[in-house]
Amino acid sequence: MKVKQLPIHLFPSKSLTKRCTQVKRDYAVLELVAKLRKTLKETKGKGLGIAACQVGILKRVFIHGDKVFINPVLMQKKGAERRGYESCLSLPNIEGRVNRHQKIVVEYYDENWDKHVEKLRKFDAIIFQHELDHLNGKIITQHFDKKDSDIARSLMQLLSDGHTPLDLTYDTCYQHGGTIFKSK
């Protein structure tokens, strides 16, 4: 059976701002996982993780690398937050600074429905929190500071007005105050 890549939903898709529902143990989740893997692979390294809501499916599933996280829970945050740049497949050409905990304890099920409790650190902890935000209906711009938020809001307005990510050239963004635009 050939696995089909799913289209990635871009802002302002409603699926990006809705809380996802728990997944029940059935074969549909295995099909979803296969499609998410295929979709992430087809980003050719642009994405480090992908949540089901980013393809329009409001279920609590995401993938990071080879790992599948079903019904994930952030159980504990440890230590101070650190500020770092993040971007998102659903918000092309927008990046900003986000505070994230560098050490966390998480619980989740894998695609075989084996339960895991793990300590995640640094990069893996950041990606887990980013993808969990998606499952909770949050996008990265909600974590930006005022300067990055103002710029991102301008870019997001362009997307809402029907511009495509390819329309977001440096000149277009500059006219709208965009200085965090990532050039091609």
Cα radius of gyration rounded to whole Å, the chain = 17
Catalytic residue among 42, 95, 107, 131: 131
pLDDT score of 180 = 36
Q: What amino acid is encoded at 146 in this protein?
A: K
Residue 9 lies in a domain: no
Mean pLDDT by 10 residues, the chain (184 residues): 86 92 91 94 88 97 96 94 91 86 97 96 96 96 74 69 58 42 35
Q: How many domains does the chain have?
A: 1
Beta bridge partners of 109: 70, 115
pLDDT score of 169 = 46
Pairing mode of beta strands 115-121, 49-51? unpaired
pLDDT score of 154 = 67
pLDDT score of 177 = 43
Q: Give the start-end residues of each E strand in the chain.
A: 49-51, 61-64, 67-88, 91-109, 115-121
Q: Is 86 an active-site residue?
A: no
Q: What is the CATH number of the domain that holds 165?
A: 3.90.45.10
Residue 180 lies in a domain: no
Cα 169 from chain centre? 23
